[in-house]
Amino acid sequence: MNASTAAARAVVAALREAGVQDVVLCPGSRSAPLAYALAAADAAGGPRLHVRVDERAAGFTALGLALGGPAPAAVVTTSGTAVANLHPAVLEAHESAVPLLVLSADRPHRLRGTWANQTTALQAGLFGGAVRLALDVPAEDPPGRLAGAVRDAVATARGTGGRRPGPVHVDLAFDDPLVPDDDPPVPDDDPRAVDDDPLAPGTVAAGPAAPARDDVPDHPAAVVLAAGPRTVVVAGAGAGDDARRLAEAAGWPLLAEPSSGARGGPHAIGPYRLLLDEPGLGGRVERVVVLGRPTLSRPVTRLLARDDVEVVHVVRHADDPRADDPRAGRAVRRVPAVRAGAGGDDGGWLESWRRAGRLATAALDDVLDHTADHAVDHAADHAVDRAAYRAQGAPRPLDGLVLAREVARATAPDDVLVAAASNAVRDLDLAGAPWDRPRRVLANRGLSGIDGTLSTASGVALATGRRTRVLVGDLAFLHDLNGLLAGPAEPEPDLQVVLLDDDGGGIFSLLEHGDERFATVFERVFGTPHGSDVAALCRGIGVPHRPAVDLADLRTALANPPPGRSVLHVRADRSARRALQARVADAVRVAVNGPR
């Protein structure tokens, strides 16, 4: 067979052998050999193929597949700017330690620097230090050696020698012809299909490789902590169930972000970020044990920066950012053991947090129930009574905190919930009460971008095969609308998009930019209203759209999502958001401390 066909088939076979179960492909000519090989493999049992028309959406779909599944996922593009469109997903995978394999097709090396169409010498090292390994593979590489390079790349993406998992980039040069000929595939026992040397002469590493295993020290012995100092466990994104188990074993309060994987059980505190500024709670903390990556709230950031608080970070990999940063506190490689009976705690530390958590949750619910019950649409006549208004079928605005609370309540143990960056994940953190046992909540918290949210959620749904919801704001929705595009031959994700539409950037009203001093410029440069017709956009891409008329209608829609892709559209009024947050904070303060 021709060289490009043989190389592509060797790459796909190596992906399968290395455990890659899903590959996302974008159309292109130079990548055609891989497209043919992937289509044939998909028909023969794997890897499973997903085709997308937008490279940025494809990158985040692959990221979601790797995030939700048990194995690395790959994304395949043609040459040129197509590869550059993967950069946001690669950066997120780098910071979140997600095993993502980028396979970019390229023209032969001899055409670099000759003004050949869609060719740049920058492509092979395009992602710089954002990838764990970058390989520049010439068209002359024998299939066996090329397959070895791919297997090594997959192993690096998984994390080797105690290093963090992450993205890798293999740039594959293909020469003409780019279509398969009539030669049959090379049998597995043919000597041309096997080569123990993964890198042929001329194949170069274009980026940093993971160090060898003996470069990484072994795990130290488990650290033993005294139970006595007033301690809280902070569980950031990706902390896992270790955080919950540690808090429960030690008798400590658990402050768990939604995407921590630990937000549940009797020690998890509800609106904890409103309690950290309380002198009798957050003010008395003497030690914090941190697992995962806490990114959501300024009160947590302030807690970790206090000089009077001991901070212990549990890191999983030798190259974790906190592993050797003395400014971050003490780093340990194992979850600490706890020595019972040591220290001077009077036994009421945990109960004081649990009591405050219960009171705060009840106060928050009272405010949100009142807000939902009295919401009105600015477009509606305020004199119209509720029954007549409902009869009109027009949705009334519901605040994002109300929506997040209802989404959390509707998330069953077997569901998967994806939370967008910006307000969505923060609303879930504040208003979503801890579950009896943690739910699977995922979010792109590596760089916290709103780009690629729908694509990531689609990949998660495809990887898990479970009912998946994504809680997303309108700007993140519009930013990744292509993430809902999928052809009729593509696997259908079971994905309900729960869209909070406040016609702009609601989070900015909660930051310092929302102060009345900046009102003259706020709406244009921060609020950024767009006035989009979401229902028409959904019709245009063939995705069912359903508005939520009121709170009761919202609950019905969350309890009975249609199969496949759908959009549940919830209107919101961001002009009232800042005042609502203040009412919530005041109500919690009164509930915990009593009236002043």
Residues 61-82: tens digit of each pLDDT: 999 999 999 999 999 999 998 9
Helix axes 400-410, 423-431, angle to 10 degrees: 70
For the chain, give the mean pLDDT: 87
Q: Is residue 170 over pLDDT 90? A: yes
Q: Give residue 366's pLDDT.
A: 95
pLDDT digits (tens, 9 = 90+) for 544-558: 999 998 999 999 999
DSSP state of 417: E
CA distances from 248 to 160, 311, 320, 350, 351 (A): 32, 19, 26, 10, 12
pLDDT confidence of residue 564: 96
3-state SS assignment for residue 576: helix
Side-chain-side CA neighbours of 222 within 13 Å: the count stands at 7
Give the model's pLDDT for residue 223: 85
Q: Choose between 253 and 576: higher pLDDT.
A: 253
Question: What was the pLDDT predicted at 290?
Answer: 96
Over residues 324-333, mean pLDDT: 74
Which pLDDT band, with edges at 50, 70 and 90, does 380 fall under? very low
Evaluate if residue 125 carries a pLDDT over 70. Answer: yes
pLDDT of the residue at 450: 85
The beta-strand segments (E) located in 374-467 are 416-419, 440-442
The confidence band for 167, taking pLDDT boundaries of 50, 70 and 90, is: very high
Going by pLDDT thresholds of 50, 70 and 90, the confidence category of residue 325 is low
C-alpha–C-alpha distance, residues 465 and 95, integer Å? 26
pLDDT at residue 569 is higher than 60 = yes
Residue owning tokens 């009840």: 362
- Mean pLDDT highest for which of 93-102, 135-144, 512-521? 93-102
pLDDT in tens, 217-226: 444 556 899 8
State the angle between helix axes of 349-373 and 423-431 in degrees (0 to 180), rounded to the nearest 10. 120
Calculate the alpha carbon distances from 163 to 92, 147, 251, 330 in Å: 17, 23, 32, 19
Helix pair angle (577-593, 400-410), 10° resolution = 70
Q: How far are the Cα atoms of 95, 415, 494, 557 from residue 562, in angstroms, in the given order?
A: 34, 14, 8, 9
Residue 171 confidence (pLDDT): 96
* Cα–Cα distance for residue pair 41/180, rounded to 1 Å: 14
Contacts of 259 (CB under 8 A, 6+ apart): 237, 238, 419, 425, 441, 442, 443, 445
The predicted pLDDT at position 193 comes to 39
pTM here is: 0.85
Task: Find the mean pLDDT for residues 292-296.
Answer: 91
| pLDDT at residue 316 greater than cutoff 90 | no
Provide mean pLDDT across the span 569-586.
91
Percentage of residues in the chain with pLDDT exceeding 70? Answer: 87
199: pLDDT confidence band, cut at 50, 70 and 90? very low
Residue 414 to residue 393: CA distance in whole angstroms? 32
Is the pLDDT assigned to residue 383 strictly greater than 50?
no
- Within 10 angstroms of residue 184's Cβ, the number of other Cβ atoms is 6
- pLDDT average, residue stretch 352-368: 96
* Number of Cβ atoms within 10 Å of the Cβ of 578: 16
Mean predicted confidence (pLDDT) in 251-275: 97
